[in-house]
Amino acid sequence: MKALTILILLLAATNSCFAQASLSPDPPSSVYFKDVDGDGKPDKFTYQIKRWENDYEGALRIVSAKGSVLWEHEYPIGKGDLNELLSTEGDATGRKVILTDWVKKFFIGELNYGAAIERIKIKAEDIDNEQIDYAAKLASVSPRKLKREIISQRSNTVVFYRAEWREDLMMIVYVPSLRKFVCYSRGY
């Protein structure tokens, strides 16, 4: 009986060692700091891609220096779509791109398909009414008021990034009255 107990304990310990050894390392992520809400303090951008079942999940989170969430977007990425995005990036740059490098360089401007954080002037024709209707509903404001505020700014703080697939260009703008970003257009 004592030998059986020892054998069970050994097997349990061995299985837990194997389970720990087979855990995947932390998913690749990158952090970038830039003031986007206009308070003079750098806000924190976090980008991550992790395995999710047989595919991947991407996430972009922007948090103010005070800790308020300015934007949060989690989205599925098919394995084939991610491979195509990395391959297209490699074709554009002339060098092989691996996932960890892609994530690491996402904010720093070394990628053709990475994020871009810019100050531009958004015009009425740049805005997708369907996206504004959805954003207005989430923010409990009228679409007309939201669109008017975006257009009335002298310049807009925008972030462009690829989401679910290579052609899925997210275009988000900071809206001061909401103290958040909203998606104003989505390129397909």
DSSP 120-173: E---GGG--HHHHHHHHHHHTS-HHHHHHHHHHSSSEEEEEEE-SSTT-EEEEE
All structural domains of the chain with their residue ranges = 25-187
**CA–CA distance, 126 with 120 (Å, rounded to integer):** 11
**CA–CA distance, 47 with 30 (Å, rounded to integer):** 5
Report, as an integer, the average pLDDT of 84-107: 90
**Residue-level pLDDT at 188:** 66
**CA–CA distance, 17 with 37 (Å, rounded to integer):** 47
Report, as an integer, the average pLDDT of 165-182: 93
Bridging pattern class, strands 180-187 and 43-52: unpaired
| Kind plus residue range of the DSSP H or E element containing 63 | strand 55-63
Query: What's the longest Cα–Cα distance across the chain?
Result: 80
Average pLDDT along the chain: 86
Bridging pattern class, strands 55-63 and 116-120: unpaired
pLDDT digits (tens, 9 = 90+) for 145-155: 999 999 999 99
Residue 184 pLDDT exceeds 80: yes
**Residue-level pLDDT at 25:** 56
- Are 171 and 160 a contacting pair, CB within 8 Å? yes
> Cα 70 to the chain's mean position, in Å?
12
